[in-house]
Chains A and B, each alone.
Chain A
Amino acid sequence: MAKILIPTPLRQFADKHDALEFQGTTVGEVLSSLAAQYPELGRQIFNDRGKLRSFVNVYLNDEDIRYLKKDATPVEGTDTLSIVPSIAGGSTSIAEPPVTTLSKDEILRYSRHLIMPEVGMEGQIKLKNAKVLLVGAGGLGAPLGLYLAAAGVGRIGVVDFDVVDFTNLQRQVIHGTKDVGRKKLDSARDSMRDINPNVQIDGYDVALSSENALEIISAYDMVVDGTDNFPTRYLVNDACVILKKPNVYGSIFRFEGQATVFAYPGGPCYRCLYPEPPPPGLVPSCAEGGVLGILPGIIGLVQATEAVKLILGVGESLVGRLMLYDALAMKFRELKLRRNPECPVCGDHPTITKLIDYQEFCGIPQHAPEPSFVEGDITPQEVKARLDRGEKFQFIDVREPHEYQICSIPGTRLIPLGELPKRLNELDPNIELVAHCKSGMRSAKAIELLKQSGFKKLRNMKGGILAWSDQVDPSVPKY
C-alpha cells in the first residue's frame, strides 16, 4: 500500500484526483494497480510493451527508484510515490554510433541484397545506417517510402502535414481507401512499418519552411524531394546546398517526369538549372493539370534507386544529368547539367548563404487573401433561383470538353476558355451572360475577355461547379 501523487496533467485520467492510494508491496505492484484502475493513465506512463516510458522517473519519497531496487523496491503504507518526467533538450542533436551488424532476421529479410556483391553485408549495413529525409508523402513520396523502407534504409524522415484525400488514391499507393481523412504521416508510417519494422520513421507534421528546414534536414544524410510546388523546391535546394547534403530531385506532370541529383559536391543545383521560378500560375500543378497515376511510381523509383546508389556508393549517379521521361512515347532521354559558377547559391561566390522567404521569391503572397465577393460575382444559389424563375440569360461553361464529360450543369453551353475569342459570334452581347468553370478562376478570365469585347451584362459564378455541387446539387460529382 502506498500513496501516489498524480502530476497535474495526468489528473484528467484519474477522475481529477491529485493523489491516490494503491495496494502493493513493491513499487511495480503499486504502479500496476494504478494502471489497472486507470488504463488511460497507465498508457501515459507505460509503453506498449508494459515498460515505463523513457521519460518517466518514479520517486519513492525523495529517492529515485533506479537507485533503490527499481520495480522491486518495497513500499509501506506511509510511503509516497511521485511520477516525475525527465526533461532535457537542446538546440542541436547528438549523433548516434553507427551499427555494425545485422540480426539473423535482417539477414534473412535482406538475403537477395546480401548475395549481390554490389550490396553484400557491407552495403546492407550502410543502408541500415543511412538517414534519408522524404519531403512529401504524396505521389513521389509513396513509392519512395515503400521501397526505401523495404530496402532497409535505417532511418527515414517524412515531412508532410496533409491529410489523405480520395483524389490521392489514384497514385499515392502508400495510402489506402481506409486511410482517407487520416494524416498522411500516420498512414505512410503504418504502411512502411508493416513492410519493414526495422526502419525508424520520423514524422514531421509541418510544412517545411525557412524556419525549420535546416534543423530538420541536418539530421539526415540526404533529401529526396517529392514536393509539388516551387517555393518548397527552392527551399529544399538551398537548404541542401547550405548543408552540403545531396538532393535527389524528381518532378511529374501529366505524362512526363524528370529526375536528377542536385547539391552533390561539385555538381549543379536546382538554381543552376532554373535560376528563377516561373511566374505564379504559369506552370499548372498536378491538381490543376492532372497526372497519370503511374507516373510518380516511375519517377519516385528512379529517385529511390539514386538514393540507394548514393548510399551504397555504387554505379553512376544522375549528378550532372537531368533524366527526362515521356510515358506516351515511352522514352527516357537525358540532358547534361553543369554547375553554374555564377549560381547565387552553389556558385564560386554565393550571394545566398542563408534561407530566404521562398513564398516571396516565387511571387506568392504570404497569406493568399480569401477571394472576396466582387462586383459581377453571382452565387450558385442565385443562379439556380434565376433558372427556376425562368429568367433568360446566357449560361456558359468555359471548362474543357473532357471536364464537361465528368459533370456539367443543365442549361449550360460549353465554350472552352481557349476557344472563346473565336466563338464570340455565338453569343449575344446584349443578353446577360453567366460564366462558370471548375472553381471560378478561368470563368473570371472569360468574363474579362468578354468585357473587353464589348459585352456588358456579365456575371461570374463564384466557386464554379465545385460550389454548385456544395450549394445547389450534391449529385454533381466533384473532381
Chain B
Amino acid sequence: MIKINSDAWDTMVGHAQSTFPEECCGVMVGTIDGAAKFVTTAIALENAYQGKQEDRYEIRPEDLLAADKNARAQGLDLIGIFHSHPDCDAYFSKTDLENSCPWYSFVVLSIKGGKFDHANSFLPNADQTVAEKEELIWPKS
C-alpha cells in the first residue's frame, strides 16, 4: 500500500499537468512501515529523455542520487518514482517495465486533455518482466 498526502499529491498532479502533453517524472519521499508506505513530499525532476517526450521519460541518475541524499539528510526515505502518461491510461507499459527497478513503487498518472484522470502504482520485479499492481491511496478532492 502506498498513501500519498495532499501536499505531495498536489506537487505530482501539478507537475504532470504543467508538462502536458509531455511526460513528466519525479520522486516520492516519505516513511515506510513494513509494506505500508507514506509519501509526505514529492519532488519534480526534469525529464532527461533526449527526443520527443510525449511518450518517454528518463530520470538522470545524478538527480536520483541527489534526491536520495536529500531524503537521507531529512531522515526520510526515497520511496518511489512517479511519471505521467499524457492522453493515455495509467498502465505500466513495456517501456516502463524494461527501464524500471524493483526497489521502488512506480506511480503512473494518466493526464487526459491536460487534466488528471486516474493513477496506479506498480511494483516491478528484478527481471523486469512483471509489475504487480500496488494499492494506491491519494487524497480525493
Residues of chain A touching chain B, judged by Cβ–Cβ distance below 8 Å, are 5, 7-10, 18, 43-44, 53-57, 59, 62, 64, 82, 84-94, 185, 202-205, 211-212, 215, 219
Contacts and interface: CB of A to CB of B under 8 A. Distances in A.
Interface of B: 23, 25, 32, 49, 55-59, 61-62, 64-65, 68, 71-72, 77-79, 81, 83, 85-86, 88-89, 91, 93-97, 99-104, 106, 126, 128-130, 132
A93 B89 contact: no
Contacts of A7: 68, 78, 103
Nearest to B72: A18
B91 A87 contact: no
B65 A82 contact: yes
A87 B103 CA distance: 11
A91 B132 contact: no
Interface centre among A85, A94, A203, A205 (most CB of B within 10 A): A85
A155 B106 CA distance: 26
Given A8-B103, A215-B94, 10 more contacts: A8-B79, A44-B126, A55-B128, A84-B61, A86-B99, A90-B56, A91-B23, A202-B129, A205-B132, A215-B89
25 contacts: A7-B78, A18-B72, A43-B126, A54-B128, A62-B62, A62-B65, A82-B65, A84-B61, A84-B64, A85-B103, A86-B61, A87-B25, A87-B59, A87-B99, A88-B58, A89-B97, A89-B99, A90-B49, A90-B55, A90-B93, A90-B95, A91-B95, A91-B96, A92-B55, A94-B95
Given A84-B61, A84-B65, A89 B95 contact: yes
Nearest to B105: A9
Contacts of B93: 89-93, 215
Query: Which 8 pairs across A and B sit closest by C-beta, in order of nearness?
Result: A89-B96, A85-B101, A90-B56, A9-B103, A88-B58, A88-B99, A8-B77, A93-B94
A9 B123 CA distance: 12
Tell me if B's interface is mostly helix, strand, loop or mixed.
Answer: mixed
B58 to A, nearest CB: 4
Contacts of A62: 62, 65
Contacts of A5: 68, 72
A429 to B, nearest CB: 53
Given A7-B78, A54-B128, A59-B65, A87 B95 contact: no
Q: Which has the most chain B C-beta neighbours within 10 Å: A88, A211, A212?
A: A88
Nearest to A218: B94
Given A8-B32, A59-B65, A215-B91, A89 B83 contact: yes
B94 A219 contact: yes
A90 B61 contact: no
Contacts of B132: 205
A215 to B, nearest CB: 5
Contact of A44 (B32, B77, B103): B103
A87 B86 contact: no
Contacts of B55: 90-92
A90 B128 contact: no
B139 to A, nearest CB: 23
Contacts of B106: 89
A18 B97 CA distance: 27
A212 B133 CA distance: 12
Given A90-B23, A203-B129, A55 B79 contact: no
A91 to B, nearest CB: 4
A92 B88 CA distance: 10
Nearest to B78: A8
A87 B101 contact: yes
B95 A84 contact: no
Contacts of B81: 87
Contact of A88 (B57, B78, B85, B103): B57
A92 B5 CA distance: 29
Contacts of B128: 54-55
Nearest to A209: B91
A39 to B, nearest CB: 14
Given A89-B56, A92-B55, A59 B23 contact: no
Given A8-B78, A93-B95, A87 B68 contact: no
Given A212-B91, A219-B94, A87 B64 contact: yes
Nearest to A201: B129
A251 to B, nearest CB: 28
A2 to B, nearest CB: 16
Nearest to B102: A44
A351 B85 CA distance: 27
Contacts of B130: 185, 203-205
Contact of B89 (A86, A92, A202, A211): A211
Nearest to B49: A88
A125 to B, nearest CB: 23
A399 B138 CA distance: 50
Most buried by B among A8, A84, A91: A91
A188 B101 CA distance: 24
A214 to B, nearest CB: 9
Given A62-B62, A82-B65, A215-B91, A89 B100 contact: yes
Tell me which of A5, A53, A84, A203 has the highest count of chain B C-beta atoms within 10 A of its own C-beta.
A84
Contact of A55 (B58, B68, B89, B101): B101
B101 to A, nearest CB: 4
B70 to A, nearest CB: 13
B111 to A, nearest CB: 11
